[in-house]
Amino acid sequence: MPNIWLAPLHGLTLYHFRNCLFQHNSGFDAAISPFMPVQESAKLNVRKWKDFAPENNRLVETIPQLMGIVPAHFADTMNALHAEYGLTRFNWNLGCPMGPIVRKRRGCGLMPYPDEVERVVEAACSLPYKFSVKMRLGMHAADEGKEIIRRLNNYPLEFIVIHPRLGEWQYKGLPDLGRLEELLGLTKHRVVYSGDIFQVADYQELHARFPQIDDWMLGRGALRNPFLAEQIKDIPSKTDYHVRFNEFYDDLKQSLVAYRGEKATLPVLKELWHYFAYFYQLTEEQLHSLLVINDYTTFDIAVKQLCEK
């Protein structure tokens, strides 16, 4: 039976979403949170980081993801999170390909600088916590990833998440499975696969090619089909998936509105419907008709009308 992870999608897979997803889905084994920036002790107020709080992560264990480049800031942040919340597992985002992140030499933008990568890993692994890395093949070239993998072999990482694209590709093109195979041959660590698992057949093809991988991460695929993890594990559904989706979505709306209010919830729901549209097989015109609505109540009525068709 595979271990299925929920991937971090910045701004979307926060604890309100995760808890609703996990309440209505029994297929997930673990998750990684969207990233938070590491900071020095004087600037830290981890009580504001509610996404990491244990009381908000009771259903499925969620590992907090950190973003940064300064080793001392990692130590300060990890120690503060341990002191406040008792957290002992941390993940480093070395894979975000978005321009504003990359330009600050964070996320995938740091992959061309293996010395700086190693300094962070060395500092984090000197602490009494479990530390892992989420990375890509490289930023500009796969040799970047190979060099980092060689260096990571010297440290007791809990695991490595690998998304088999270069950072400069962002999410375009197909994952480079040949390059992934090369990294698998180099690493001494447990690998979690991440990238383009949108349906059961995608997982089956990948698992057949990489039988040594036991851990599989769903990101955009889990938003397109919230029940994909169950389907991969061949867990039968006792109720029609559309009925279950509506129950999941109603709980998600209520949770978001209770926390954010209707006005702030609307843009989040619009972003999610870029993915949910696949579940209901909405046309581009139908999706566009939702996204131009700027009133929460009107949006909610329009969603119900589309989903009843």
Of 39, 19, 37, the residue nearest 252 (C-alpha): 19
Cα–Cα distance measured from residue 249 to residue 130, given in angstroms and rounded to the nearest whole number: 34
Report d(CA 290, CA 90) in Å as an integer. 38
Distance between first and last Cα of the chain: 36
Output the pTM of the full model.
0.94
* Domain 3-232 class in CATH: alpha beta
pLDDT of the chain, 309 residues: tens digit per residue: 899 999 999 999 999 999 999 999 999 999 999 999 999 999 898 888 999 999 999 999 999 999 999 999 999 999 999 999 999 999 999 999 999 999 999 999 999 999 999 999 999 999 999 999 999 999 999 999 999 999 999 999 999 999 999 989 988 989 999 999 999 999 999 999 999 999 999 999 999 999 999 999 999 999 999 999 999 999 999 899 999 999 999 999 999 999 999 999 999 999 999 999 999 999 999 999 999 999 999 999 999 988 875
d(CA 136, CA 298): 41
Task: Kindly report the number of other CB atoms within 10 A of residue 124's CB atom.
Answer: 23
